[in-house]
Structure 1
Amino acid sequence: MLRLRHAPCAWFCAIVLTVSLPVSAPLSADNRDHHLPTLGSASPAASHQEQQLGRAWLRQFRAQAPQWQDPLAHYYLDRLIARLMPHSGLSGALPVSVMVDNGSLNAFAVPGGVMGINAGLYAFAPDEGAFASVLAHELGHLSQRHFARGRERAEQTRLPAMAAMLTGMVLAASGAGSAGMAAAMGSQAAMLQDQLRYSRRFEEEADRVGMQTLADAGYPPGDMVRMFKGMQRMARLQGDTPPEFLLSHPVSESRLSDAQSRSAQMQVSDDYQDDTLYDMVRARALQHLHHNTPKEALTRLREDDAESAAITYLQALIDADKGRTQSALTTLDRLAEQHPDLALLPASAARIALDDRRVDDAINRSQRLLRLMPGYLPAQLTLAQAQLGTDPGAAYRLLRDVTDEHPEYPLGFTLLSEAAGRSGHTAEGHLARAEQLQLTGRIDKGIRQLDIALDAAQSDNNPALEARIKSRRETFIDYRDALEEFS
């Protein structure tokens, strides 16, 4: 059973602020049967501008809001978005995701292909279908271009609205709760008044597209209905003081009835019903959120009938946190034998070994996993971090590949900067540090790091690197101009 608690939500902001993204093709016949609009593609110029705005927004958000740095959970989130996206009507690059270190239920989408969730979404969604329904709903807002369809009257307020959303989301992420959402919405009052009459229709469209996305991806569309029912229960429990996200994102009886009716008519493609991996990722979130009271995390998993393997996995995480490393590793190795397809298990064991300074064990476990799953990011990061003290040159080479493959991932550049410095690649180290700084919104400091990197490249007589640094400096200045829009 889904249990929801009082928490701010940015879904309504996402409705108002979702700028046009390209749509891969007209919607399917199934969607036309549900009376959804068939929309054309955005122009390339508009798409590039939207991406710039979205990336600038994300950099400012990273600079101010607390993030949950868990590569395993983040990798899972990105893979689930990748699973849903081909069925959502969106084309182009996968949205860049961010995880907020906050225990309240929340998810948001921002113009230019940015999606975010709170750690609390894992805690509150009892299974993968419920979790996926939230992501599918957000993708529905993006694919239906809800902001773009009202853009003629809202064009002049787009940047102020995005800036207001940034302020509110940072406040909410930092624990200000309703005050954060009030700040986000108060600054948009005039635009919201103009957009409110469209919001109900947009919500219904996002529901419909989201349900079809779920069904086409192999999830029962009724999972979204379950989420709605949970929200309704919470609204009744809150009485006269419902959470902000229910005030701005109400689940009316007509909306629930419409969702139930449509759900009953949909067919699921290639049924996908394995919750074991999700339950384990959820265990990580619950352990993080209940770090000081791990029994509460175990209780939450058991109450929601999580897979027994996930409960065992959580106990192993708790053992490791309590210093019982060997017990944790023994448990994880046994689980890995029982579930050989779940890379999360050996990756977790490698991370636990490294945290206990069992460096050789961490390296061996990571290398063994990467032979089976080349490019598996969590194992790459653990291996590189373990190699920093034993073979920084190998760590440097690995992290160059990682950052090339994941150019929007700040942690990769953090580690690359250290590996470059330890292996004698001074200029490259400053360049990596500059990239990490700009990704986290500290653009002026990033530009200063580029200047230091350029001096080092010139001292090394490395013209190719000099040219690359100069090119990045021009790009950083463009980033700074975009960031100033939110000042």
Structure 2
Amino acid sequence: MVAKRIISLLFACSMALEPAAHVYAQNYNLPNLGAAGGATLSQLQERQLGEEIMNEVRSDPTYLADPETMEYLNRIGYRLVSAGPGSPYSFEFFPIRDSSINAFALPGGFIAVHTGLVTAASNESELASVLAHEIGHVQQRHIARMLENQKGNWAMTLGSILVAILAARAGSGDGAAASVIGAQAAMAQNYLSFSRDAEREADRVGFNSLVRAGFDPKGMEQFFERLDFNNRAYEGARAAPAYLRTHPMTVDRMSEAQVRSRSVRAQKHKDSLDFYLIRARLRVLQSNRYQGWSDAMDYFKEEAKTAKGYEAAAVHYGMAVAAQRMKNPTLALQEIEKARQMTGGNSAIINKLYSDLVFESSPNQRARGLQLAKQAYEKSPLSAMLLENYASLLLRDKKYSQAVELMRKQHAISKSTVTYQSILGRAYEAMGKRSLSHQAIGEMYALQGQKVAAIQQLTLAQKANDADFYTMSEIDARLRELRADVEFDKKHQ
């Protein structure tokens, strides 16, 4: 798919940051790869660039808007970020539905993780080592320095990338991919050696974060060894592992990973239950077709013969996820009950699916399913995953005013999120509050970068005119702001 190929190339040729902060290198005893001679983009501009790219990524079919996976990846990611040298950006980790083993960073702290990376990881430390490496790229400002190294070519490349993304969304097919590939090819020779140095530096920074965050130091070494094994299997072929195509692997990187892991005191990291659950979940969600779900079910049935402990619970959870997708609610409920019994009912991820399946099992069980969702959320009120689940079940049970009250009082997610505005929009629409509904849907579109659609919704909100004076004034002001933004964009195209 064209969009997938675009995304896989973005890390190599679309970032633009300011010069690297020398204090990072000093604190971590790192070599100075060079600082930019002049400003390229400010930190604010770089974040805005990342947001613009993310607007396109979120519209791509490969973007996996899965609350469970997002919450898990961000929990692991921020554990690593807090153990690192610091960054001027807030991070966002998100999954991409792609079976290849890969991860990549975008401008402004956005980090994508392929589902294939999670399903291929043999333990949590391996997965964390890749996230730590990508975080290292952002914290060390590598792309700012890479673009400075291009001495002026970066603007052309960024333009080519963004045009290509827009063309792909418009259905231009392989012409869009060719545009991106052409932009990459024009720069490839110039940044290859720099990129290798950047990879090694990201390894060092990432390793320090990995150890400080309490993960197994051998995680990175083990991951590299698996990549090397896979690479040998593909030697001479085009289909080398995706991670190696976007992250140059050298003998030095592998040997340095071995030396580093053996130079620190060994610390065993016990893999979390959530790691096994998310790995099983993504084995199912990696496909959006029945055959893929059926294949996952067959895999879990085979694994169930020998799996123990957390892995056994994850196998039954995975079977429940697959059965739900395959429209077999009876089997799904049987399997999730097994997983729940194995974990003592203490897993938020398992409890979320359990409440869903109970709610869906029959009209008589809706109240029980809703109560289970409420209990799970109240136990972990800062969980966006559990909040969204509880609110969604309230909407499905036609308890619209309760859903609105819940969203207004909660602290799990910001008002400036698509999820928040989407839930409010649906609730207000069902309640017949047209201005509030169109306002929420308009804000949802605005957050997705769809300013014209946002203006259309807010105009409908204005015409409905069935909210209080304060809300209508807020809508009027927001309309003026968005229209001014659209005019500005037109003038500067």
- Aligned residue in 2 for 1:121: 117
Q: Does 1:58 align with 2:54?
A: yes
Deviations 1:174-200 (A, max 9, x none): xxxx99976534223333333223111
Does the 8 Å contact 1:309/1:335 carry over to 2? yes
Higher mean C-alpha displacement, 203-212 vs 55-64: 55-64
User: SS at the partner of 1:250?
Assistant: coil
Does the 8 Å contact 2:300/2:316 carry over to 1? no
Shift of 1:408: 5.7
Cα distance change, pair 349–171 in 1 and its aligned pair in 2 (3 A) = farther
User: SS at the partner of 1:197?
Assistant: helix
- Aligned residue in 2 for 1:410: 418
Does the 8 Å contact 1:104/1:118 carry over to 2? yes
User: SS at the partner of 1:364?
Assistant: helix
**RMSD, aligned CA:** 3.9
Shift of 1:16: 4.5
- Aligned residue in 2 for 1:276: 273
- Aligned residue in 2 for 1:384: 391
- Aligned residue in 2 for 1:344: 349
Q: Does 1:315 align with 2:323?
A: no
Cα separation, 1, equivalents of 2:220 and 2:127: 9
Given residue 296 of structure 2, which amino acid in structure 1 is its aligned partner? P
Q: Percent identity?
A: 23
User: SS at the partner of 1:205?
Assistant: helix
Given residue 384 of structure 2, which amino acid in structure 1 is its aligned partner? L
Aligned residue-pair number? 472
Deviations 1:214-242 (A, max 9, x none): 11111123211111111111111112114
Q: Does 1:262 align with 2:264?
A: no
Higher mean C-alpha displacement, 206-215 vs 151-160: 151-160
Shift of 1:423: 2.4
Deviations 1:99-148 (A, max 9, x none): 22222222121112211122222212222111111111111110110121
Given residue 432 of structure 1, which amino acid in structure 2 is its aligned partner? A
Given residue 200 of structure 2, which amino acid in structure 1 is its aligned partner? E
Does the 8 Å contact 1:353/1:359 carry over to 2? yes
Cα distance change, pair 148–224 in 1 and its aligned pair in 2 (3 A) = same
Does the 8 Å contact 1:133/1:224 carry over to 2? yes
Does the 8 Å contact 1:453/1:469 carry over to 2? no
Shift of 1:279: 0.5
Cα distance change, pair 21–210 in 1 and its aligned pair in 2 (3 A) = farther
- Aligned residue in 1 for 2:85: 89
* Superposition pairs of residues 209-220 of structure 1, within 5 angstroms: 209-220=205-216
Cα distance change, pair 301–262 in 1 and its aligned pair in 2 (3 A) = farther
Q: Does 1:77 align with 2:73?
A: yes
User: SS at the partner of 1:390?
Assistant: coil
Shift of 1:414: 2.4
Shift of 1:11: 7.1
- Aligned residue in 2 for 1:109: 105
Cα separation, 2, equivalents of 1:208 and 1:168: 34
Cα separation, 1, equivalents of 2:125 and 2:150: 35
Q: TM-score, normalised by structure 1?
A: 0.83
State which of 447, 453, 462 in structure 1 corresponds to 2:461.
453
Shift of 1:263: 2.0
Cα separation, 1, equivalents of 2:204 and 2:440: 43
Does the 8 Å contact 1:61/1:166 carry over to 2? no
Structure 1 residue runs of 5 or longer lacking an equivalent are 1-6
Does the 8 Å contact 1:98/1:117 carry over to 2? yes
Does the 8 Å contact 1:14/1:141 carry over to 2? no
Cα separation, 2, equivalents of 1:477 and 1:356: 50
Does the 8 Å contact 1:108/1:115 carry over to 2? yes
Shift of 1:275: 3.3
Cα distance change, pair 436–118 in 1 and its aligned pair in 2 (3 A) = farther
- Aligned residue in 2 for 1:31: 28
Cα separation, 2, equivalents of 1:12 and 1:86: 28
Cα distance change, pair 100–309 in 1 and its aligned pair in 2 (3 A) = same
Cα separation, 1, equivalents of 2:102 and 2:483: 31
Given residue 437 of structure 2, which amino acid in structure 1 is its aligned partner? G
Cα distance change, pair 268–35 in 1 and its aligned pair in 2 (3 A) = farther
Cα separation, 1, equivalents of 2:354 and 2:451: 36
Choose between structure 1 and 2 for higher RCO, CA contacts under 8 A separated by at least 6 residues. 1
Given residue 111 of structure 2, which amino acid in structure 1 is its aligned partner? M
- Aligned residue in 2 for 1:4: none
Does the 8 Å contact 1:164/1:188 carry over to 2? no
Does the 8 Å contact 1:21/1:145 carry over to 2? yes
Cα separation, 2, equivalents of 1:183 and 1:300: 44
Does the 8 Å contact 2:140/2:202 carry over to 1? yes
- Aligned residue in 2 for 1:433: 441
Structure 2 residue runs of 5 or longer lacking an equivalent are 287-291
